[in-house]
Structure 1
Amino acid sequence: MKTEVSKSVFKAQALEIMRAVEQSGNEVVITSHGKPTLVIKPYQEDAPKDPKELLKDSVISFENPTDSVSDDWEVLQ
């Protein structure tokens, strides 16, 4: 369940709100002039990911792999 509080209420009751989030695990949305701006939620440590898994499907196309990346490069001999 998400709860919404204004910035001014959060400022006055920040410690109480943070303790409630820790205990309940529920998110609190901080609003500014009625529009959501921030979310306070419990921290969850992510499991480390395999670098190959992070890059999987990240290449959209692979055309001419031997072409120069830029015309500005010099070939050193």
Structure 2
Amino acid sequence: EISAGEFKAKCLKLMDNVARTHEPLVITKHGKPVAMMVPVMPEPATPLFGYMAGTASVRGDIVAPLDVEWEAESEA
């Protein structure tokens, strides 16, 4: 715990300490807790493998030949 007045005087140093130790800091006013400074925890990175799983859908027959002749198949 730290008083609001002391917090004001040492704010930047206290922020560094919270970031380094990962310990929250309670700030008091007239002896009563009024705020809490907590460290920001980085969110775990989303793995790239499988992150799009379940988002695609197949519509129709993707294996059957098309009834359209492609230019690449024709002799020019």
Bin for the TM-score computed over the shorter chain: 0.5 to 0.7
Map of 1:55 onto structure 2: none
Map of 2:38 onto structure 1: 41
Residues 23 and 45 of structure 1: CA distance in aligned 2, closer, same or farther (over 3 Å): closer
**Whole-Å separation in 2 of the counterparts to 1:44 and 1:29:** 18
Match of 2:40, SS state, is coil
**Whole-Å separation in 1 of the counterparts to 2:4 and 2:29:** 6
The number of residues matched between the two structures is 44
The alignment status of 1:27 with 2:30, answered yes or no, reads: no
**1:44: Cα distance to partner?**
2.7
The Cα RMSD (Å) is 1.4
TM-score, with length taken from structure 2: 0.54
Structure 2: runs of 5+ lacking an equivalent: 45-76
Amino acid at match of 1:42: P
Structure 1: runs of 5+ lacking an equivalent: 48-77
* Structure possessing the higher radius of gyration over alpha carbons: 2
